[in-house]
Amino acid sequence: MPTDRSPNSTSDVFEKSVKAYLNGLSYLFTASQNGFSALSRYTSEFLIPYMLATNYFKDVEFKKMGVTGIQDTIEDYTGLGRFNLDLTNRAIVGAVQAFGEYFRHESEKTAEAVADVFLSGNTDNLENLINRKKDLLDLLAHRYPEAIEAIEPEYGFHFDQDGTVKVAETDRFVLYQVLPTDPKEEVRKTGKPILILPPYVLGANILAFLPGDDRSYTHSFANQGIPTYIRVLKDIQTSEALQVMTPEDDARDTRIFCEAIRERQAKPITLNGYCQGGYSALCNLLSGELDDLVDAFITCVAPMDGTRSEGLSGFLADLPRRFNDLEYGSKTLPNGNTVADGKLMGWVYKLKSIEDESPIAVFYRDLMMFARQKGSDFKISKTAAALNYWLNNERNDLPMEITKMSFTSYNTPISDDGTLPITLFNRKLNLHRLAEKKIPWLICYGLHDNLVEPPTALAPLDHIEAEVSAFPKGHVAIATSWSNPNSACALHTRFGEENYRGPVRFQLDLEDAMGQAEAPKQAQKKAAKKRAAKTTKKSAPKVAKKSLTEAAKKSLTVSAKKRSTKAAKKPAAKPVKNSLKQVAQKSMTASAKKRSTKAAKKGSARVAPQKKG
């Protein structure tokens, strides 16, 4: 068939090409604006903690002026310059790699669209591609931040609503019982209770990630009927007692809460610490403050020996010694108390992994997350929104003494005999005490955790025995991905080739073992109650008769007393009765005399005639 080369056809092609060109320019302009806006947001999130760090650094260095020698200062600043240069190089390499990954993903589609333009004059594919990129960048600049803020009602704990019960409170913490979200499940009154200690910096809400979607670490226990309790920090900005808290205060408050739980449940408690909460829980146990209250222990991604952390420990080792000081990360509150800046602490973790956490790297990582979806109807998952909400909003300031405890654990290793580098109540804390107390310990860690690497979490195994469960993915996967009861590594199941036990499965098995151990005792108690009941039934009638006899005797005694009392009140009655008796006797005597006199007269009358004859 001959090709239509009429003027009208040529005009239509030209008009269509111009329209496509103009649309493409419009899309590119909009995409550029959205891209710049999105990248600016990522950059500002990174630079705000940087500005805080700069101010803290300036204040501390002003204090050190004139105290440190010039030569030492030059050496320290030279080392700091090399350190910053290394960070910059790593950030650039990470950004280039992230861009390269995105480019490889999009290059095939771009090449096909450009080829259509040059080979067939078809501009539709190119126009659609540019339009898709425009929508993608609009999503990253506007829709995604809006979705992150909108997830707040579904994310984390909401203690002002139903689902939790306030149990106890100190000046620093509040203890809540977490109730099941499953309406078919009830908390077992005879269940073994568990007390969860969340991380200080990351907060408690990450352990209630999305309860409504069955993705909550804490609710994974409660939804199995386990009495589940969680210790929550008060607001450090308004709680002065929390601002100056010491590790000893932590131990004392934990004991108070364990006593409150023991009073409610009447059973020993399983102590469960997540991340930094795991290290605090270990110290509390080893101090002896929780003796006779806690009989089992679970830790999840907890840094037990920070010196084994290749990332953070190596990061601190490369930093000149002068600047490896908590003073550079502390701030003074209006009341004069000093605390560690939580935002800056989180930023330090970003610096440690600067290849993946620089603004450009994060920008392209999120861009890739949506670019993998087909079409232009991009879906924002609740998981992504909730994770970013947590990263943006959950960074708590820390008491300085608690920060020092963590700082020491990352700079001083556990000793060869199993003694931790810190003390509580002037007591040494040795890992072997757990074995002496026969406390079972489950250590859960992430196989790909780049925050608390496996060697850091598993350090105690060099000194004592403990059960281990290795979970795929990273630091918060146990709380987010695997807390889903339908996931491959659900917390209430055994999983993997090694048949690992999840923390909920561990707790349920402990409860079953406790029930089996208590069964004979319960049977003996029931039998004793039955025997006592039978004995009571047999002896009850005799006791009743005896009690009735005694009651009758008492009644007769009381009646006699009453009669004697009445007689005593009427003394004239007896003489009257006596005189009546005397009168009756005299009357009877007089009557007898009369009868004898009459008889005598009659006898004499009978005798008289005889005398006459």
Q: Residue 571's pLDDT band (boundaries 50, 70, 90)?
A: very low
Position 227 pLDDT exceeds 60: yes
161 three-class SS: coil
Judge contact between 327 and 64, C-beta under 8 A: no
Give, for 211, the enclosing helix (H) or strand (E).
Answer: none
Residue in this structure with the two tokens 């700082």, named with its chain if needed: 407
The whole-angstrom separation of Cα 412 and Cα 402 is: 15
Judge contact between 214 and 154, C-beta under 8 A: no
- Level-2 CATH architecture, domain 155-307+399-516: 3-Layer(aba) Sandwich (3.40)
Judge contact between 194 and 294, C-beta under 8 A: no
Residues β-bridged to residue 424: 427
Angle between helix 124-138 and 70-120 (nearest 10): 150
Judge contact between 271 and 302, C-beta under 8 A: no
Q: Is 382 exposed, middle or buried (0-12, 13-18, 19+ CB in 10 A)?
A: middle
Give the distance from CA 534 to its chain's centroid: 48
Phi, psi (degrees; rounded to nearest 5) at 442: -110, 120
pLDDT in tens, 453-500: 999 999 999 999 999 999 999 999 999 999 999 999 999 999 999 999
The whole-angstrom separation of Cα 415 and Cα 418 is: 5
Helices (H), 297-358: 312-318, 342-352, 354-357
In this prediction the pTM is 0.80
Most confident of 158-162, 259-263, 373-377, 587-591: 259-263
Structure tokens at 192: 């073994």
**In three state form, how does the secondary structure of 37-87 look?**
HHHHHHHHHHHHHHHHHHHHHHHHHHHHCCCCCHHHHHHHHHHHHHHHHHH
Longest Cα–Cα distance in the chain: 209
501 three-class SS: strand
Question: Stretch 74-81: mean pLDDT, rounded?
Answer: 91
Report which residue type is found at 225. G
% of the chain beyond a pLDDT of 70: 81
DSSP state of 329: G
pLDDT at residue number 204: 94
Judge contact between 123 and 20, C-beta under 8 A: yes
pLDDT in tens, 585-595: 544 454 445 44
The whole-angstrom separation of Cα 136 and Cα 144 is: 10
Q: Residue 564's pLDDT band (boundaries 50, 70, 90)?
A: low
pLDDT at residue number 342: 87
The whole-angstrom separation of Cα 185 and Cα 5 is: 76
165 three-class SS: strand
pLDDT at residue number 573: 41
CA-nearest of 149, 566, 174 to 390 is 149
**In three state form, how does the secondary structure of 560-595 look?**
HHHHHHHHHHCCCHHHHHHHHHHHHHHHHHHHHHHH
The whole-angstrom separation of Cα 275 and Cα 457 is: 9
Which has the minimum average pLDDT: 86-90, 112-116, 350-354, 575-579?
A: 575-579
Judge contact between 440 and 297, C-beta under 8 A: yes
CA-nearest of 269, 260, 256 to 295 is 269
CA-nearest of 276, 254, 402 to 339 is 402
Contacts of 268 (CB under 8 A, 6+ apart): 192, 262, 292, 293, 294, 295, 296
Give, for 232, the enclosing helix (H) or strand (E).
Answer: strand 228-233
Judge contact between 193 and 143, C-beta under 8 A: no
Which has the minimum average pLDDT: 1-10, 56-65, 195-204, 356-365?
A: 1-10
The domain locations on the chain are 11-153, 155-307+399-516
Half-sphere exposure of 598 (CA within 13 A, CB side): 6
CA-nearest of 516, 491, 437 to 190 is 516
pLDDT at residue number 485: 95
Q: Residue 31's pLDDT band (boundaries 50, 70, 90)?
A: confident
The whole-angstrom separation of Cα 360 and Cα 45 is: 12
Strands 419-424, 194-197: pairing is unpaired
DSSP state of 215: B
pLDDT at residue number 32: 83
229 three-class SS: strand
DSSP state of 167: E
CA-nearest of 157, 164, 166, 229 to 192 is 229
pLDDT at residue number 351: 87
pLDDT in tens, 190-221: 999 999 999 998 889 999 999 999 999 999 99
Structure tokens at 465: 């025995």
CA-nearest of 548, 268, 310 to 449 is 310
Cα-Cα end-to-end distance for the chain:
206
Give the distance from CA 510 to its chain's centroid: 19
Phi-psi region of 325 (alpha: psi -120 to 50; beta: other; left: phi over 0): beta
Can you give the C-alpha Rg of the chain in angstroms? 46
The whole-angstrom separation of Cα 436 and Cα 597 is: 122
Structure tokens at 592: 């007898």
Q: Residue 603's pLDDT band (boundaries 50, 70, 90)?
A: very low
Position 175 pLDDT exceeds 60: yes
The whole-angstrom separation of Cα 524 and Cα 522 is: 5
419 three-class SS: strand
Judge contact between 357 and 406, C-beta under 8 A: no
Which has the minimum average pLDDT: 4-18, 135-149, 215-229, 385-399?
A: 4-18
